[in-house]
């Protein structure tokens, strides 16, 4: 299985670097930046298509930065031609770490849903947690 990160600017490459800092080198994790130079260059689309095509029948998970953004919209077009592709959006570190650790090991739809749940749980208001902590005890 291959995991491909695609984002506006350098987010995807930064995310890959951070994941590898935490979880070690990930040979099946790739990152592509769109419009990195501020131009309207769409060369990233060709690069992602080539990477997906090279996977042949293997499962490919593509993760984009934001639903409705131009990057995600371009990746939606890939879904039409590649039955082995799963497209996720809302890229964050807990999501990606769970994908590379859990989904690689389990390779199932349930593992993907678990990764999405971990990503969602990773978005919190620390102020609110601290406020609740004042009433209930230790935060950590």
Residue 139 has pLDDT above 80, yes or no: no
For residue range 33-50, what is the model confidence (pLDDT) as tens digits?
Answer: 998 765 566 788 889 999
pLDDT of residue 116: 96
Segments making up each domain of the chain, as ranges: 2-136
CA 61, CA 35: separation in Å to the nearest integer?
Answer: 21
Asked if 42 and 95 touch (Cβ cutoff 8 Å), the reply is no
What would the two tokens of residue 135 be? 């009433």
- Cα Rg for the chain, rounded, in angstroms? 17
Query: How many distinct helices (H) and strands (E) make up the chain?
Result: 7, 4
Q: By percentage, how much of the chain surpasses pLDDT 70? A: 90
pLDDT of residue 62: 97
Residue 28 has pLDDT above 80, yes or no: yes
CA 34, CA 98: separation in Å to the nearest integer?
Answer: 24
What's the CATH class of domain 2-136? alpha beta
């Amino acid at each position: 299985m291959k995991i491909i990160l695609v984002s506006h600017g350098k987010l995807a490459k930064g995310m890959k670097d951070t994941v590898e800092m935490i979880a070690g080198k990930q040979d099946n994790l790739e990152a592509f930046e769109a419009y990195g130079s501020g131009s309207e260059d769409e060369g990233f689309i060709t690069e992602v298509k080539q990477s997906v095509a090279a996977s042949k029948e293997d499962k490919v998970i593509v993760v984009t930065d934001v639903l409705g953004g131009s990057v995600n919209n371009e990746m939606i077009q890939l879904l039409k031609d590649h039955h082995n592709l799963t497209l996720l959006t809302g890229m964050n570190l807990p999501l990606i770490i769970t994908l590379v650790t859990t989904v690689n090991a389990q390779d199932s739809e349930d593992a993907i849903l678990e990764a999405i749940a971990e990503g969602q749980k990773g978005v919190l208001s620390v102020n609110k947690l601290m406020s609740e902590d004042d009433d209930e005890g230790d935060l950590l």
